[in-house]
């Protein structure tokens, strides 16, 4: 719709200063209110079937019944709005619904600030400073709690039949325990799938009260119940009971220990001055062309460092059954499952969001914020680099399963 210059000139007659147009009592704010009231009046006209000032149909008992003033919060602050009424109380406006107190995406602003990791107090201050909006902690909680419905829908959505690669990773979050009321360091597990087309998709998140094979099996069964029938390669971080749970639910899945996690675990045994040298001597193991050569490189590493750091080589040997599948893959696939760039970029988003939080009062509060961070992550580019080469290799290695 185009507004004529004549109408604009008429509107701007009294505007001599910027605040006359944009100030709290300026034209823009007044125009917005008047237009909304005009639209509400038009809605009532459509509801009653006759224009304001006209005679209603003779057989109609419902009539206009004045108006009521309600205050609504928007990007211009809090404004008074005159809402027309009818005698029977049957008028349900669409523009500003009954009980609605916020307009102009105030809810989206609150959720956006919450997703950025701001506290309730910070959100209050931000909205008041920028928009002149005074919102209560209870309002912020109600708005963000609405996200939980979206979380439940997302957590139970249908998934693809097959994922070539699924990376299972964990982060630690401080959450107040509901029973003991003590803050505990809980594990939040995230499953990041790579689809047949090379897109990254977060399949779900789970907060573990009791880790172990029973917990992991429940996660695997949940994925099956949501439609996943096959996973070609599952990348895990060496947690006890995890490989067994995966193969119990997906017998044909190749379980691969995350090499990055294994390297980081090895570094935990080293002094700071030796870390660089130890990391350099581990490199020939995971860059070996074959499993046999990798084992020889591990023997060489143990001969050099076994006396000073006797725990590193045995840690690799304990995980060797889940390390060796790595050597059957081409460089394109190794790059995806070794560097785990797909999950590391997600972790960067999560850490950035969570770093402002000391702890969470409940698991639901943690879930809300992590879900919003995941949603922001998935808005960006989700493709895995150099996927075409990896996909061609997978289609050959897993013939009959990749294209099924």
CB 198 within 8 A of CB 384: yes
Which pLDDT score, from 0 to 100, does residue 93 have?
A: 79
User: Would 346 be classed as within a structural domain?
Assistant: yes
> Is 358 within the bounds of a domain?
yes
Residue numbers of the domain that contains 66: 18-52+60-104
State whether 200 and 329 are in the same domain: yes
195 part of a folded domain? yes
Is residue 207 domain-shared with residue 296, that is, in the same domain? yes
Taking only the tens place, the pLDDT of each residue in 134-146 is: 777 777 777 777 7
Residue 167 and residue 99 share a domain? no
Q: 99 lies in a domain?
A: yes
Termini Cα distance of the chain: 52
pLDDT digits (tens, 9 = 90+) for 159-201: 999 999 998 888 888 888 777 778 888 888 889 999 999 888 9
| 187 domain residue, yes or no | yes
Residues of the chain where predicted confidence (pLDDT) is lower than 70:
1-11, 20-29, 31-32, 35, 74-77, 95, 100, 102-108, 130-133, 209-212, 238-240, 338-342, 380-382, 404
Q: What is the pLDDT of residue 296?
A: 95
The verdict on residue 5 lying in a domain is: no
Residue 8 belongs to a domain:
no
Number of domains in the chain: 3
pLDDT at 104: 59
Check whether residue 79 and residue 187 sit in a common domain: no
303 shares a domain with 168: yes
Q: Give the distance, in angstroms, between the CA of residue 87 and the centroid of all CA atoms in the same chain.
A: 47
Q: Is residue 13 part of a domain?
A: no
240 and 355 both lie in a single domain: yes
CA distance 226 to 197: 20
Sequence-ordered alpha helix ranges (H) in 81-171? 106-115, 120-131, 137-145, 147-155
């Amino acid at each position: 719709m185009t507004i004529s210059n004549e109408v604009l000139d008429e509107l701007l007659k009294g505007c001599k200063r910027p605040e006359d147009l944009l100030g709290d009592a300026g034209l823009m704010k007044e125009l917005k209110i008047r237009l909304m009231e005009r639209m509400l009046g038009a809605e009532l006209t459509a509801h009653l079937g006759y224009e304001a000032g006209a005679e209603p149909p003779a057989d109609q008992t419902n009539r206009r019944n004045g108006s009521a003033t309600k205050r609504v919060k928007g990007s211009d602050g809090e404004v008074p709005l005159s809402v027309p009424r009818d005698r029977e109380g049957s008028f349900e406006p669409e523009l500003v619904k009954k009980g609605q107190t916020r307009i102009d995406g105030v809810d989206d602003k609150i959720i956006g600030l919450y997703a950025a990791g701001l506290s309730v107090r910070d959100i209050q201050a931000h909205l008041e400073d920028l928009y002149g909006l005074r919102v209560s902690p209870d309002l912020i909680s109600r708005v963000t709690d609405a996200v939980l419905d979206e979380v439940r829908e997302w957590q139970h959505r249908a998934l693809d039949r097959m994922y070539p690669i699924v990376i299972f990773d964990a982060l630690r979050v401080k959450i107040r325990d509901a029973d003991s009321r003590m803050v505990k360091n809980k594990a939040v597990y995230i499953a990041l799938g790579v689809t047949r087309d090379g897109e990254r998709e977060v399949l779900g998140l789970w907060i573990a009260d009791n880790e172990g094979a029973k917990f992991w099996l429940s996660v695997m069964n949940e994925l099956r119940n949501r439609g996943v029938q096959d996973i070609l390669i599952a990348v895990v971080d060496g947690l006890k009971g995890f490989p067994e749970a995966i193969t119990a639910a997906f017998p044909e899945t190749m379980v691969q220990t995350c090499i990055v996690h294994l390297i980081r675990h090895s570094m935990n045994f080293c002094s700071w001055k030796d870390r660089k040298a130890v990391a350099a001597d581990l490199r020939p193991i995971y860059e070996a062309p074959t499993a046999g050569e990798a084992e020889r490189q591990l023997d060489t590493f143990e001969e050099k460092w076994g006396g000073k750091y006797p725990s590193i080589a045995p840690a690799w040997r304990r995980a060797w059954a889940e390390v060796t599948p790595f050597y059957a893959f081409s460089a394109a696939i190794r790059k995806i499952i070794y560097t785990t760039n797909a999950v590391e970029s997600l972790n960067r988003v999560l850490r950035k969001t969570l770093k402002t939080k000391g702890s969470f009062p409940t698991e639901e509060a943690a879930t809300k914020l992590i879900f919003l961070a995941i949603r922001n992550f998935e808005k960006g580019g989700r493709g895995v680099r150099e996927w075409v080469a990896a996909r061609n290799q997978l289609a050959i290695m897993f013939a009959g399963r990749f294209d099924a």
